[in-house]
Structures are given as structure tokens and as C-alpha cells.
């Protein structure tokens, strides 16, 4: 029988040991990054609400998962958003209220937590903001673009067949009539009142006081605190400490941060372009969108 070369045998053993070591590191990192990991005891989870709120599902699914995890004692909503669609903001708000019944929930404002971002924050037990965080903007907006004159200059004319006179309400192909505007204003007033009710309930403020502030204006975090729209001033680390205190966690809390998304070179190249396209479509294209949204246009 031919004997194996000792150097080759040594390299083989070394390779196997190195493979086992790397595999164990991967398994360890996998389990320690999971929210339902068996490592440690009571935990605080960070849930991020970032950018324009158009799709509520990722945040809702995250909240449902954390609500059912017994080791999660508190949730910190890190909000950095100017708001977005009325429906998406309300879906997240409703799920935060469900989580609040079982966990301590604290909202931490980043640079912006306005309109729909603030709507979501109101469902938390407490709200913390930086002194210069932009918040408020309690209101609703609908924007419509009319291109009828442009089409006329191009020699084009729209032809619409509809089941009722209001079926093309807000169409960019015809002027808005006084009756159209009245109908839209009625819907806006209804959705605006829902916002006011949510703020009054969440912040335990009189309805009339909220109505005085609900004209779309923005506030700094410091101004919002003086008005009762925010509880305390502080950054994310301060929010984590307060959440641990609220949940009765002794000592340094174990914090589960959101998993970092791994970007490919392709993602890095197109991310900004895609964001601009989506934003452009949101602002200019039909159908009408009812928005809890704040945008500083320049």
C-alpha cells in the first residue's frame, strides 16, 4: 500500500480544521444575529421606519414577529421618514398599537419624523426626538397635474368613456370643477380628522388643542416637546436606555439592531436613480394619492 505524503496529509488536516472553524464562525454569527436566538435573556429590538412610506408590509411583518417573541421586552421605533401614503401609515400605526399592548414601545425620531412618520410615532408609549428633529406636519395633501393645454398644443385630445360623472375625478386631462374640488375636500377633511383623532388619543391631548396644531406646520423636536407632541429629547442610545428602564430590564440591555442589507455593486449604482424615479412618479402621475406627507420643495 502506498503511504500518503506527510506534508500532503498535514495540509489536508489543516484544511479540514480551517473549514470547520469558518463553518462554526458562520453558525455562531447566524444565531447571534437572529431575533429568536437562544443567546442571552431579555432583549430590546430596533425597528426602522425609513424613507417615504409606500409599502407597510416589511415593517408590519417585523412588528408581528417581535410581538410574538417572548424574549423581546421593548421595541424602539427608529423613525426617519417624511411620511407617505395614508393607508400604509395607518397600517403600521395599527400594528404598533397591537405591539404596545404586549411590549413597551418607544418612538425615536431621527432627522425627520413628519406627517405619516409622526402619525406612526403617536402609537408608541413615549416619543423621543432630537432637539432639531423635524416633526409635526399634521395634515393631508393631494396633488394633481393638469396637462390638457399641453396636449392641445401637441394636437392631441383625450377621449374618456366613464360610468359616472365623478369616475375620472382628479384626471390630468380635464380641469377640476368646483364640484370635484368639494368632493376631494370632503375626503381630505375626513382623513385629516382621523389623523387628529390618532394624535389626540396617542398623546392624550384635547382634540381642540390638536386641531390648533394640525394645519400642516412643522416643528423642531424642542418645539414639539413644549407642545406635548414629544415627551423627551435624546438620541437613539438615550431611547434604548429609556426603553430598558420602561421594560424593567436591569443592567446593560441586549439590543437587536436591524440586519444590515448587503448591497451589490449593481445596487449601489442604481439605488439613487430608482429612488428619484419613484419620487417623480409619486409626485406627478395619476391616480390621486392621499398622503400624510411633508416635502420641502426647492
Task: Kindly report, residue by residue over 240-252, the tens digit of the pLDDT.
Answer: 999 999 999 988 8
Catalytically active residues, by annotation:
115, 167
Cell of 225: 416637546
Q: How far apart are CA 77 and CA 127, in angstroms?
A: 9
Supply the DSSP string of 11-71, one letter for each residue.
HHHHHHHHHHHHHHHHHHHHHHHSTT-SSSSSEEEEEEEESSB---HHHHHHHHHHHT-TT
Which among 54, 46, 116, 106 is positioned nearest to 81, based on CA atoms? 116
Q: How far apart are CA 215 and CA 140, in angstroms?
A: 9
Mean pLDDT comparison of 33-42, 47-56, 155-164, highest-scoring range: 47-56
pLDDT band at 285 (very low <50, low <70, confident <90, very high): very low
Q: How far apart are CA 189 and CA 142, in angstroms?
A: 12
pLDDT at residue 275 in the model = 55
pLDDT at residue 162 in the model = 84
CA distances from 283 to 72, 179, 227, 264, 294 (A): 39, 23, 31, 29, 12
**pLDDT(2) > 60:** no
Domain made up of 42-162+169-293: CATH architecture: Alpha-Beta Complex (3.90)
Pick from 101-105, 128-132, 195-199, 266-270: least confident: 266-270
| Helix intervals (H) in 101-227 | 116-121, 148-153, 178-203, 207-213, 221-227
**pLDDT(273) > 70:** no
**pLDDT(4) > 90:** no
The residues that bridge with 59 in the sheet, in sequence order, are: none
Amino acid at each position: 500500500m502506498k503511504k500518503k505524503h506527510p506534508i500532503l496529509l498535514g495540509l489536508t488536516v489543516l484544511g479540514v480544521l480551517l473549514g470547520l472553524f469558518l463553518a462554526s464562525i458562520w453558525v455562531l454569527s447566524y444565531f447571534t444575529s437572529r431575533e429568536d436566538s437562544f443567546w442571552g435573556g431579555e432583549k430590546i429590538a430596533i425597528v426602522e421606519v425609513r424613507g417615504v412610506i409606500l409599502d407597510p408590509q416589511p415593517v408590519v411583518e417585523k412588528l408581528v414577529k417581535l410581538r410574538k417573541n417572548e424574549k423581546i421586552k421593548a421595541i424602539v421605533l427608529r423613525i426617519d421618514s417624511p411620511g407617505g401614503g395614508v393607508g400604509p401609515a395607518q397600517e403600521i400605526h395599527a400594528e404598533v398599537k397591537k405591539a404596545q399592548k404586549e411590549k413597551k414601545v418607544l418612538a425615536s425620531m431621527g432627522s425627520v419624523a413628519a406627517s405619516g412618520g409622526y402619525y406612526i410615532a403617536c402609537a408608541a408609549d413615549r416619543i423621543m426626538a432630537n432637539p432639531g428633529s423635524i416633526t409635526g406636519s399634521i395634515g393631508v395633501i393631494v396633488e394633481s397635474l393638469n396637462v390638457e393645454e399641453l396636449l392641445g398644443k401637441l394636437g392631441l385630445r383625450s377621449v374618456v368613456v366613464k360610468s359616472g360623472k365623478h369616475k375620472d375625478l382628479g384626471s390630468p386631462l380635464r380641469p377640476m370643477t368646483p364640484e370635484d374640488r368639494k368632493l376631494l375636500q370632503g375626503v381630505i377633511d375626513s382623513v385629516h380628522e382621523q389623523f387628529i383623532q390618532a394624535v389626540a388619543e396617542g398623546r392624550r391631548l384635547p382634540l381642540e388643542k390638536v386641531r390648533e396644531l394640525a394645519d400642516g406646520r412643522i416643528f423642531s423636536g424642542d418645539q414639539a416637546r413644549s407642545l406635548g407632541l414629544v415627551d423627551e429629547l435624546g438620541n437613539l442610545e438615550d431611547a434604548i436606555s429609556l426603553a430598558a428602564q420602561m421594560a424593567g430590564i436591569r443592567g446593560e440591555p441586549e439590543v437587536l439592531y436591524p440586519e444590515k442589507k448587503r448591497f451589490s455593486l449593481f445596487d449601489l449604482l442604481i439605488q439613487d436613480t430608482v429612488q428619484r424615479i419613484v419620487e417623480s412618479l409619486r409626485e406627478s402621475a395619476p391616480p390621486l394619492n392621499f398622503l400624510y406627507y411633508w416635502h420641502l420643495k426647492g
